[in-house]
Chain A
């Protein structure tokens, strides 16, 4: 182009300027991506020096993917996930990923990323709310296919009336697939968990997909302090030759499973194989436990152990609960808090140990159905004499004031409305 001429500005039919991200150029030798060194997971997680930065949850996820040695990312835009995968697109442009594209919709995305993972590469996708629901049929097939890919879930409302507000009811649908599920509390978790999820998911005895969930907007679009190791180090690549199934073998199950009628619906023996296969998926979920302990510091974190009143929470409800615990301490009350990092594997023994002594347990949640309270109740049944209060709950985009948690700490608000007196009219 001749010097002095203005660069042509492309616009869409509405007149908006079209901004594009160029595909990575072939010559990447001098790029920062090409200069990244592979280090051990232990070095990346625990030893490398960290610098504190103030970034959004989406940016934190981007920084995780930068260091995760991901080969391919496939996704379809949906709020509030879109921003994160846009950030991942920038990483592709900078040469950190080998491939990146937008699928046609979530069913296609979840299928495509399954194919990518089955071929032996490290694969990433992300979705939110209704997108998760749309892809759910395929997602439930991932664990049986033994695909150690990563799904990031930025939770939002799923039910009508349609909304894009924060609400994590969608996680209740994800809990019974056989996928590992980690629930990030804040921006720091949303940096740490994806990296650790890859390492855990790819252990041979695990070989399962992992989901890292976060409460949309509260974390994805808000800034928080995140400690990051240097940009020039990354995880070792996926070693698909040391996993539970051979890669991309179309003549053998699980690839063959979906097209092979006899194996799925023939005689009793085939049913038995399917039953054994399902048991194996959940056995593999259990086998992730020692790795969650090693890399994530445990399935749960306990604040003020031994307190009479314990709060059990996951996701951003933990942050609100931390503040409620602090405010209660100003009144001279010692309140305990259990942060559940890992929803699958579920911290059965850890929760029993942390809550066995309690007299009152409350379970604040960002959803209407109280899926966490149900999990907590069934786990603690027969192991504690404590009153287990399902709540407080907010949903549909509401935030959870710490005052609401404090109310529940001392009394269940609805108790005031309970009466055995007849109506006064």
Chain B
């Protein structure tokens, strides 16, 4: 009723927001038009949103790309072109990980959080890899939205959604109508932010130390599996090959 209340704005920030925060849409956040972006619940110019996304991916811990089926699989020429640009984006982010969401099947009893992110429990992948900035691209809107709400509820990850359709309110940064051209603008934004003097997280002393420790741990895991795992345990570690004769 009061004018003061109507001026309050719901902020879409990295969580953890709690057990079950409301969807940003229910709190009045609206989707951007083509040429606009959405930054933390506020409609902005497209270039500002691109810059905010670039800054988050370059400065936050363990930046990660989560490509969905619409870029992971080469359905057609367009998706192949789009996938190439996504790789260009990755190339501009030092220390970046690429963890696909290849489809939306529930994965039980447990997922491999280093290999995939799954919309049924996306927070597991983010927690395990200590991801604090990520880009969703090529994920069908429903699953991106389901995922983004859970990520905001339970993690401190800064989420960016580069959407081919209308965008996503629950991402901290979202851009609509992302074809190859707009994805190219993301590449340019990353280059521009680096030119402005930002030191990417992976090149900071902390980042270097963490990535080195991670590489070391993975090497040890591989060696342990190769040398110590008895035959009967191998299937449990490597998974069953359903196509095996």
| 8 Å CB interface, A249-285 against B | 251-253, 256, 260, 262-263, 266, 269-270, 272-273, 275-277, 279-280, 282-284
B137-174, CB under 8 A of A: which get 1 and which 0?
Answer: 00011110111011001100000000011110100000
Docked-complex contact A253 and B104, CB < 8 angstroms: yes
Q: How far is the CB of A363 from chain B (nearest CB, A)?
A: 20
Docked-complex contact A287 and B149, CB < 8 angstroms: no
Q: How far is the CB of A152 from chain B (nearest CB, A)?
A: 25
| 8 Å CB interface, A378-413 against B | 382-383
Closest to A203 in B: B166
Residue among A245, A263, A269, A356 with the highest chain B CB neighbour number at 10 A: A269
Q: How far is the CB of A106 from chain B (nearest CB, A)?
A: 27
Docked-complex contact B142 and A245, CB < 8 angstroms: yes
Q: How far is the CB of A4 from chain B (nearest CB, A)?
A: 62
The answer to the question of A204 belonging to the interface, with a C-beta cut-off of 8 Å to chain B, is yes
Docked-complex contact B105 and A280, CB < 8 angstroms: no
The answer to the question of A163 belonging to the interface, with a C-beta cut-off of 8 Å to chain B, is no
Give the number of residues in B that approach A within 8 Å (Cβ atoms): 36
Docked-complex contact B142 and A244, CB < 8 angstroms: yes
B66-104, CB under 8 A of A: which get 1 and which 0?
Answer: 000100000000000000000000000000000000011
Take A256-B106, A275-B20, A277-B146 as given contacts and tell me if A246 and B69 are in contact as well, using a CB distance cutoff of 8 Å: yes
Collect the chain A residues with CB atoms within 8 Å of residue B124's CB.
269
Q: How far is the CB of B233 from chain A (nearest CB, A)?
A: 24
A279-307, CB under 8 A of B: which get 1 and which 0?
Answer: 11011101100100000000000000000
Collect the chain A residues with CB atoms within 8 Å of residue B153's CB.
272, 276
B106-129, CB under 8 A of A: which get 1 and which 0?
Answer: 101000000000011101100000
Collect the chain A residues with CB atoms within 8 Å of residue B146's CB.
273, 276-277, 280
Collect the chain B residues with CB atoms within 8 Å of residue A204's CB.
141, 165-166
B-side interface mostly: loop
Give Cα A290 to B28, complex, Å: 12
Take A205-B31, A244-B141 as given contacts and tell me if A279 and B106 are in contact as well, using a CB distance cutoff of 8 Å: no
Take A205-B166, A242-B165 as given contacts and tell me if A279 and B103 are in contact as well, using a CB distance cutoff of 8 Å: no
Closest to A285 in B: B25
The answer to the question of A207 belonging to the interface, with a C-beta cut-off of 8 Å to chain B, is yes
Collect the chain B residues with CB atoms within 8 Å of residue A252's CB.
103-105
The answer to the question of A334 belonging to the interface, with a C-beta cut-off of 8 Å to chain B, is no
Q: How far is the CB of A305 from chain B (nearest CB, A)?
A: 18
Docked-complex contact A276 and B105, CB < 8 angstroms: no
The answer to the question of B1 belonging to the interface, with a C-beta cut-off of 8 Å to chain A, is yes
Collect the chain A residues with CB atoms within 8 Å of residue B169's CB.
283
Q: How far is the CB of A397 from chain B (nearest CB, A)?
A: 38
Q: How far is the CB of A379 from chain B (nearest CB, A)?
A: 12
A321-365, CB under 8 A of B: which get 1 and which 0?
Answer: 000000000000000000000000000000010001000000000
Give Cα A246 to B153, complex, Å: 26
The answer to the question of B30 belonging to the interface, with a C-beta cut-off of 8 Å to chain A, is yes
B44-60, CB under 8 A of A: which get 1 and which 0?
Answer: 00000000000000000
Docked-complex contact A272 and B31, CB < 8 angstroms: no
Collect the chain B residues with CB atoms within 8 Å of residue A238's CB.
none
Size bracket, chain A contacts: 35 or more
CB < 8 Å: which of B24, B140, B167 contacts A245?
B140
The answer to the question of B238 belonging to the interface, with a C-beta cut-off of 8 Å to chain A, is no
Closest to B20 in A: A275
The answer to the question of A67 belonging to the interface, with a C-beta cut-off of 8 Å to chain B, is no
The answer to the question of A183 belonging to the interface, with a C-beta cut-off of 8 Å to chain B, is no
Q: How far is the CB of A385 from chain B (nearest CB, A)?
A: 10
Collect the chain B residues with CB atoms within 8 Å of residue A283's CB.
23-26, 145, 169
Closest to B30 in A: A290
Give Cα A214 to B1, complex, Å: 33
Docked-complex contact A256 and B105, CB < 8 angstroms: yes
The answer to the question of A122 belonging to the interface, with a C-beta cut-off of 8 Å to chain B, is no
The answer to the question of A66 belonging to the interface, with a C-beta cut-off of 8 Å to chain B, is no
| 8 Å CB interface, B186-210 against A | none
Take A246-B69, A273-B121 as given contacts and tell me if A282 and B105 are in contact as well, using a CB distance cutoff of 8 Å: no
Closest to B150 in A: A276
Docked-complex contact A266 and B140, CB < 8 angstroms: no
Closest to A252 in B: B104
Docked-complex contact A286 and B140, CB < 8 angstroms: no
The answer to the question of A146 belonging to the interface, with a C-beta cut-off of 8 Å to chain B, is yes
Collect the chain A residues with CB atoms within 8 Å of residue B20's CB.
272, 275
Residue among A256, A273, A352 with the highest chain B CB neighbour number at 10 A: A273
| 8 Å CB interface, B1-45 against A | 1, 20, 22-26, 30-31
Give Cα A284 to B103, complex, Å: 22
Closest to B170 in A: A283
Q: How far is the CB of B111 from chain A (nearest CB, A)?
A: 10
Residue among B119, B146, B153 with the highest chain A CB neighbour number at 10 A: B146
Docked-complex contact A383 and B1, CB < 8 angstroms: yes
Docked-complex contact A260 and B141, CB < 8 angstroms: no
Docked-complex contact B140 and A273, CB < 8 angstroms: no
Take A253-B104, A256-B105, A269-B121 as given contacts and tell me if A279 and B142 are in contact as well, using a CB distance cutoff of 8 Å: no
Give Cα A277 to B142, complex, Å: 8
Collect the chain A residues with CB atoms within 8 Å of residue B147's CB.
276
Give Cα A203 to B142, complex, Å: 12
Would you mind naming 19 contact pairs between A and B with Cβ atoms under 8 Å apart? A204-B165, A205-B167, A242-B165, A245-B142, A252-B103, A256-B106, A262-B106, A269-B124, A272-B20, A273-B120, A276-B149, A276-B150, A279-B23, A279-B149, A280-B142, A280-B146, A283-B24, A283-B25, A290-B30
**9 other A-B residue contacts (CB within 8 Å) besides A279-B22, A352-B1:** A205-B167, A246-B69, A246-B140, A256-B106, A272-B154, A276-B149, A276-B153, A279-B26, A283-B145
